[in-house]
Amino acid sequence: MRASSLLLLLALLPPALAGAGEAAVPENGDKPEMSTPGGSGATAPASSAALGPSLTAAPSNAAITPELQAALANLPNLPIFAKSRSALDVIDAETGARVYSYGDDARLLPASTMKLVTSSVALRELGPSYRFPTWVKHDGDLGADGVLQGNLYVIGQGDPTMVVERMWRMVADIKARGVSEIQGDLVFDDSYTQDSVWVPGWNKPEDLEDGSSYYSALGALSLNYNIATINIRPGPEVGGAALAAFDTPSDVLVLDNQLTTGRDRSKYWVKVERTLDEKDGKVATYKLTGNVPADHEPDQVYRTLADPTGNYLSVFRDMVKANGIKLKGKARVGAAPVDSTLVLKVESDRLVEILMDMNKQSNNFMAEQVLRAVGAEKLGLPGSTEKGVKVMNDYMTSLGVPSERYKFVNGSGLSREATMSPSAMDAVLMDMWNDVDRGPEFLATLAVGGRDGTLWHRFREDGMEGRVRAKTGSLNGVFCLSGYVRAVDGRNYAFSFFVNDIDGNTVRARAAHDELVRALAGVNGNLAEAGDGGGD
């Protein structure tokens, strides 16, 4: 792809859709697995042969201005390099030559930058226009009077965008297709994926107990990102109970409201304790304690639920009844016969639009649902994270990246076990950069500096807005950034900058990221000295 075409593309790509945000995870994890010691060995430029066949034909030298060379040479003097494990890699996107590297290409925790690999694999294997389908079918006869002499089946394929508004439309369309009474059962088929509902590679006790919203359960039949939303507002009397209710009630959600209404301007605080049913771990009880001032605006809290299929079943069944469709049998989980008759097919938005939400807002749930679909469509049913990871490994092999430079565990990067070297990530970035068919869509999914996503509040100063498209990644002690920079002289760069083992907050790591991006862009200023901002 010519540089001029890519410059035009970067100028014209559309803004992001909204989505669920990335969480900085307060957790004391193990040290990351390392292939070589980090924190030393800056080179500029270096050979690109290590990146494999996709880049070995590129020249090993790149045009570097004296200003850029000086800025890169000064980068390791920033405080964060002495107080963390850091590794970075910069590639001239037009020539494929390595411009700069630091940290011996060490394998570090990439956090949510892992979603770049998931996105690349999904675009390759599923295609930008892939849509997640949900099928509604029946057995038995459907009479002209609307009475179905059989079962109605709802078959999920992991649609990560299904919300109550779309489900209501789906149920209304079932009735519009002539179904007014179901003599048999309402059956929910979630066999498209068969895996744990929890994200592999993440076993933080607090998340398992409390259900943090960035740690959503997974399933072929999922609704509202598998998040329970609880609406909270003050009650009518000071000293009395505050009001709380689920936004979307279901059989697998129980509310224990012990909130009180406080005086005007008293301190607002809410604590949520989630406990799972001791027998099967599917019904979740949410105990609310705290104070809601009488003059406080309505608020919402979010916690993950434990039984995606049970939640989907309960809400769908209630909508069926609310739409006037009579159900004579029961709602249950089961398999749909292969010869059942189609009533309705509901589809998600296109994959590229889902990836926009996923990357710009760092949505872990979407990343994991997408990866399981990749596993199912590429390696056969049932889909699983393990199959998706195998496809990711095969993809890296196709790029010529040695297996010792990465270890994949899941699709979101929510793991203390997953590791990756900066050059391995840059190989992915370069593959997408040079892919005429999928590259434009991949670029469109990234957050744009100063404009949207997790970068909307960064790179807003004069000359920087819109020059960087990248993916952020953060866990406790981890701060990463990978993407592309368009320089004022028209040159384009791919870069990956991983910082691990941060002692304290992420301000200095973020400042170092910003300094690298500013240097590559050729925009004057020293953000490292300014030290603005905090974590994503």
Digit-coded pLDDT (tens) for 85-107? 999 999 999 999 999 999 999 99
Give yes or no: residues 339 and 485 share one domain. Answer: no
Number of domains in the chain: 2
Among 469, 497, 475, residue whose Cα is nearest residue 12: 469
User: 208-235 as b/e, with b when 16 or more CB fall inside 10 Å?
Assistant: bebbbbbbbbbbbbbbbbbbbbbebbbb
pLDDT confidence of residue 43 = 57
| pLDDT at residue 34 greater than cutoff 90 | no
Give yes or no: residues 307 and 375 share one domain. Answer: no
Q: What is residue 529's three-state secondary structure?
A: helix
Q: How many CB atoms lie within 10 A of CB 260?
A: 17
pLDDT confidence of residue 472 = 98
Digit-coded pLDDT (tens) for 489-511? 999 999 999 999 999 899 999 99
Q: How far apart are CA 124 and CA 374, in angstroms?
A: 10
pLDDT confidence of residue 261 = 98
Digit-coded pLDDT (tens) for 136-160? 999 999 999 999 999 999 999 999 9
pLDDT confidence of residue 371 = 98
Give yes or no: residues 256 and 400 share one domain. Answer: no
pLDDT band at 40 (very low <50, low <70, confident <90, very high): very low
pLDDT band at 526 (very low <50, low <70, confident <90, very high): very low
pLDDT confidence of residue 181 = 98
Could you give the strand order of the β-sheet that contains 133-138, starting from the edge strand earlier in sequence? 331-333, 186-189, 152-156, 133-138, 341-347
pLDDT confidence of residue 205 = 81
Give yes or no: residues 258 and 289 share one domain. Answer: yes
pLDDT band at 260 (very low <50, low <70, confident <90, very high): very high
Percentage with pLDDT > 90 across the chain: 81
User: Is the model more confident about 278 or about 169?
Assistant: 169
Q: What average pLDDT does the structure give for the chain?
A: 88
pLDDT confidence of residue 2 = 40
pLDDT band at 17 (very low <50, low <70, confident <90, very high): very low
| pLDDT at residue 16 greater than cutoff 80 | no
pLDDT confidence of residue 65 = 86
- Residue 136 covered by a domain: yes
- Residue 309 covered by a domain: yes
Give yes or no: residues 97 and 184 share one domain. Answer: no
pLDDT band at 62 (very low <50, low <70, confident <90, very high): low
Listing DSSP states for 441-463 in one string gives HHHHTSEETTTSGGGTTSS-STT
Residues near 529 by beta carbon (within 8 Å), at least 6 away in sequence: none
- Residue 1 covered by a domain: no
Give yes or no: residues 378 and 461 share one domain. Answer: yes
Asked which of 317, 348, 379 is the last residue of a domain, the reply is 348
Verify cis geometry, omega within 30 degrees of 0, for the bond prior to 14. no
Digit-coded pLDDT (tens) for 432-486? 999 999 999 999 999 999 999 999 999 998 899 999 999 999 999 999 999 999 9
Asked which of 328, 348, 368 is the last residue of a domain, the reply is 348
| pLDDT at residue 76 greater than cutoff 50 | yes
- Residue 17 covered by a domain: no
| pLDDT at residue 211 greater than cutoff 50 | yes
Give yes or no: residues 150 and 92 share one domain. Answer: no
| pLDDT at residue 37 greater than cutoff 60 | no
User: Is the model more confident about 267 or about 528?
Assistant: 267
Task: Work out the angle at residue 495's Cα, subtended by the Cα atoms of residues 489 and 500, and round it to the nearest 5 degrees.
Answer: 140
pLDDT confidence of residue 64 = 81
- Residue 23 covered by a domain: no
Asked which of 348, 366, 393 is the last residue of a domain, the reply is 348
pLDDT confidence of residue 234 = 98
Percentage with pLDDT > 70 across the chain: 86
- Lowest pLDDT segment from 135-144, 346-355, 412-421, 527-536: 527-536
User: Is the model more confident about 514 or about 281?
Assistant: 514
Give yes or no: residues 231 and 324 share one domain. Answer: yes
Verify cis geometry, omega within 30 degrees of 0, for the bond prior to 298. no
pLDDT confidence of residue 533 = 35
Give yes or no: residues 379 and 506 share one domain. Answer: yes
Pairing of strands 253-262, 227-233: unpaired
pLDDT band at 525 (very low <50, low <70, confident <90, very high): low
**Domain at 265, CATH number:** 3.50.80.20
- Residue 470 covered by a domain: yes
Give yes or no: residues 403 and 471 share one domain. Answer: yes
What are the tokens at 275? 């406990």
pLDDT confidence of residue 4 = 38
**Domain at 488, CATH number:** 3.40.710.10
Terminal-to-terminal C-alpha distance of the chain: 32
User: Is the model more confident about 366 or about 525?
Assistant: 366
pLDDT band at 409 (very low <50, low <70, confident <90, very high): very high
- Residue 13 covered by a domain: no
Among 153, 131, 142, 160, residue whose Cα is nearest residue 320: 153
- Residue 28 covered by a domain: no
Q: How far apart are CA 54 and CA 346, in angstroms?
A: 39
Q: How far apart are CA 434 and CA 419, in angstroms?
A: 25
Give yes or no: residues 172 and 120 share one domain. Answer: no
Q: How far apart are CA 240 and CA 291, in angstroms?
A: 10
Digit-coded pLDDT (tens) for 232-241? 999 999 999 9
Parent domain of 314 = 132-348
For the purposes of burial, counting CB atoms within 10 Å of the CB of 380, is it exposed (0-12), middle (13-18) or buried (19 or more)? exposed
Give yes or no: residues 397 and 437 share one domain. Answer: yes
Q: How many CB atoms lie within 10 A of CB 82?
A: 10
| pLDDT at residue 21 greater than cutoff 50 | no
